Chains A and B, each alone.
Chain A
């Protein structure tokens, strides 16, 4: 079994020692204690485990560690800069776009990817691109509001 000894996460190269065929999610959570990314289904259907790999929203539960070689992973723990929340994190708080909060990190990471590609998405574009993320508490309308707000506040090159 091929072993992987390094993972580029949130701007740092971290030493690890893990089988290449393990899921990225399990390495983040169990080996690196980055527990913000959540297990929800294990089949890429709920989005709770979403991270960015080279800027792409990716389901880390169905991504093999081996597939991350030479790539940069960003998790929910990596988007706060110098103690300042990402505009999307701020917007989720302001819109109270969460209840139990378990889906929130995945929702935010999917939104980060969306806004980096489409800085001012229409509601339809938001719905289409977020369709793979499940919130069982049903805060979808608030999440749409939060993404709209963040898009507004990021205008003018906030990030």
Chain B
């Protein structure tokens, strides 16, 4: 780890960003060629090395650490109005299916008083868009939307100033609508494009720029369908994996036989003899570039590599391993006195909950197209951190960042899984050696094996409760899965909460909601156990231990729509409830499940989820995210798990790793609690955290069987 620290205010657990770079290239041959291309010469080499060092120390590491400037101060950095009136907004955020291309366009259109169709958004292009740390942590809505709103509002005011000056009238007489500034009294109007004449708006965006208050929103706060939806339903949208360049070759990486294996010997003579095939060996990296994907696959499989492996833990011993490997003296968060709390309790419970590693399995596997041109590297890649990946490329190839451009086409999803630059680096290394552009598309098996996973973890909870339903003591230890969502909104007077970092046997990293899913599962199932212990209704029990009005509001909203307490549980049907808070969003979920006692099959019948994230920007797209989180959550709750042994993934395909499908989906109702009086928070992650505990609690309600491990029933319920 180097400078392994991320700004705490932003994110505290991004394992993949602390990881060592995957590759340490020698680059000898190509590096000479690279300087030749630039014109060569000692002075130039010296200058570039100095630049590279400089860049490594500043930009490169800033990129990895996720720090950087807050972006341009002037309007022109965020927004451009061309002479023909077309409006382009710029953001370093990327579109992965969260539909932020739509919600951000709404914000810009609103402030410029133009139809949403007039806005083009340029996203995630390190040469064109302002620096951005990355699209994660549900930060787009709370930070980028207000930024673009302010920029667009400042542009609107600047346009009024320009017109007022041109017409020599008081700006108060002017209004803006439909791409024009109009003086209604003089019946005079002028297009935006004629005012800016396509020039960059250099005016500084002031914090005092008046933005449209939520009660006057006309475009934001409304359900707008995906702005470029047509290009997706027609198959015309070009994902990274669809990108094609002239002379482009296809890459394939020869993967080690197991994790942490080192190469002993390589015989690539057969592959090298194949027509048009370029074999690259550099440090631990072995790969090929070939004229077609088939030729690349053939060449890669013709390379005989021998690997040295080391014994590694298996999934069966995971939880013991994580406890044993836990770091010493972790930081504990303590309130009150646990001893006092336990003394006041009439009932005490101790339980352990576990969480498996799972895979993001984005439907578009990792893909990159890399091209070197006169010493400048351009990479199209599906990553959630274009600037971070630029930094990783700079580090891997030891060139300054200003010689690298990373472009992120709207991508086939990520869910927190596409933060690292592996595929970009691999494609760039192959392209450098081949002297031609190279496309590299990971196979599904590579995606399951060589990407990183959501961390597995163990959580110990011990607690005390009084017969009146007051939780008096709360002790919570999480090993390895992470600290997101480990804090809560309940009123526990005596508590101790600890996250224990551990050593992960698998490469692990971010996943939608991070550890909030694990922590909410343990907490909300445990609270259900307490409620049953003192025989109080689980909803009432939660409300009794809560003062937070926003949390209570979502619980009541979900319960009301669900009809909580009205359904009668049977031995085959049960109801469960859970609630949570994370990343500025409040969530409550109610679930109905049915259990087939003969087959053990668990079927979700109905899920109602209430969500509150401040002022809603786009109700239907918000519902879409909530529904999607619920569906994705079903997998981790019931059956998804990465099976591994001795440095190998044992189920790296969809035929062996079950993901949610049509028949798994219950009736879903998303209830939006719209708080126009509160700033908008992001919504791509938090709606996932309530599902697993609500389902687990419902299964208990039906069967009396308490499931404490995620996934809860990979092979159905064994009664």
Contacts and interface: CB of A to CB of B under 8 A. Distances in A.
Interface-centre pick from A26, A38, A94, A103 (highest chain B CB count, 10 A): A38
Given A38-B241, A46-B363, A138-B630, A85 B230 contact: yes
A102 B624 contact: no
A103 to B, nearest CB: 5
Interface in B647-704: 653-655, 659-663, 665, 668
A93 B229 contact: yes
Interface in A81-131: 85, 89, 92-94, 96, 98-105, 108, 126-128, 130-131
Contacts of A128: 663
Contacts of A80: 234
B624 A35 contact: no
Contacts of A93: 225-226, 229-230, 233
B364 interface: yes
Contacts of A127: 662-663
Contacts of B411: 100
A102 B412 contact: yes
A54 interface: no
Contacts of B98: 99
A103 B412 CA distance: 8
Nearest to B362: A136
B627 A43 contact: no
B632 interface: yes
Given A48-B363, A92-B233, A35 B238 contact: yes
Given A30-B293, A37-B235, A134 B97 contact: no
A105 to B, nearest CB: 4
Nearest to B367: A39
Contacts of A41: 444, 653-654
A32 to B, nearest CB: 11
Interface string A1-37: 0000000000000000001001000100110011111
Interface residues of A, number: 55
Interface string A116-159: 00000000001110110111111111111000000000000000
Interface string B624-649: 11011111100000000000000000
B170 interface: no
A76 interface: yes
Given A45-B654, A131-B662, A26 B294 contact: yes
B90 interface: no
> What's the dominant secondary structure at chain B's contact region?
loop
A139 B441 CA distance: 25
**Most chain A beta-carbon contacts within 10 A, residue among B96, B234, B629:** B234
Given A96-B226, A100-B363, A22 B654 contact: no
B292 A36 contact: no
Nearest to A36: B235
Contacts of A96: 225-226, 229, 620-621, 624
Per DSSP, are chain A's interface residues mostly helix, strand or loop, or mixed?
Answer: loop
Contact of B292 (A30, A43, A102, A105): A30
A139 B668 CA distance: 11
B259 interface: no
Given A76-B234, A105-B235, A100 B242 contact: no
B237 interface: yes
Nearest to B239: A102
Nearest to B688: A138
B443 interface: yes
A76 B624 contact: no
B594 to A, nearest CB: 16
Given A89-B233, A100-B364, A131-B662, A137 B628 contact: yes
Interface residues of B, number: 57
A108 B238 CA distance: 17
A141 B363 CA distance: 18
A11 to B, nearest CB: 16
A138 B660 contact: yes
B365 interface: yes
Given A35-B242, A136-B415, A43 B653 contact: yes
Nearest to A132: B661
Nearest to A127: B662
Interface string B219-247: 00000011001101111111101101000
Interface string B533-566: 0000000000000000000000000000000000
A115 B203 CA distance: 56
Given A134-B654, A138-B660, A140-B662, A99 B628 contact: yes
Most buried by B among A29, A77, A99, A135: A99
A36 to B, nearest CB: 2
Most buried by A among B232, B239, B654: B232
B654 A43 contact: yes
B444 A89 contact: no
A143 B662 CA distance: 9
B389 interface: no
Contacts of A48: 363
A102 to B, nearest CB: 3
Contacts of A66: none
A15 B362 CA distance: 34
B236 A36 contact: yes
Contacts of B434: none
A55 interface: no
Nearest to B415: A136
Interface in A41-55: 41-43, 45-46, 48
Given A42-B443, A42-B444, A93-B225, A99 B234 contact: no
Nearest to B243: A35
Interface in B387-418: 410-413, 415
Nearest to B96: A100
A75 interface: yes
B663 A102 contact: no
A136 B233 contact: no
Contacts of A45: 653-655
Contacts of B237: 101
Given A96-B621, A102-B364, A38 B654 contact: no
A117 B565 CA distance: 43
Contacts of A43: 444, 653-655
A18 B446 CA distance: 26
Nearest to B659: A134
B364 A38 contact: yes
A102 B375 CA distance: 33
A138 B233 contact: no
Contacts of B250: 30
B412 A38 contact: yes
B361 interface: yes
Contacts of B360: 136
Contacts of A137: 97, 413, 628, 632
Contact of B654 (A19, A33, A46, A100): A46
B632 A138 contact: yes
Contact of A142 (B293, B415, B627): B627
Contact of A138 (B229, B628, B663): B628
6 contacts: A38-B363, A76-B235, A93-B226, A100-B412, A131-B662, A134-B363
Interface of A: 19, 22, 26, 29-30, 33-43, 45-46, 48, 75-77, 80, 85, 89, 92-94, 96, 98-105, 108, 126-128, 130-131, 133-144
Interface of B: 96-99, 225-226, 229-230, 232-239, 241-242, 244, 250, 292-294, 360-365, 410-413, 415, 441, 443-444, 620-621, 624-625, 627-632, 653-655, 659-663, 665, 668
Given A85-B233, A99-B625, A137-B97, 7 more contacts: A19-B294, A26-B293, A30-B250, A37-B235, A96-B621, A138-B630, A144-B662
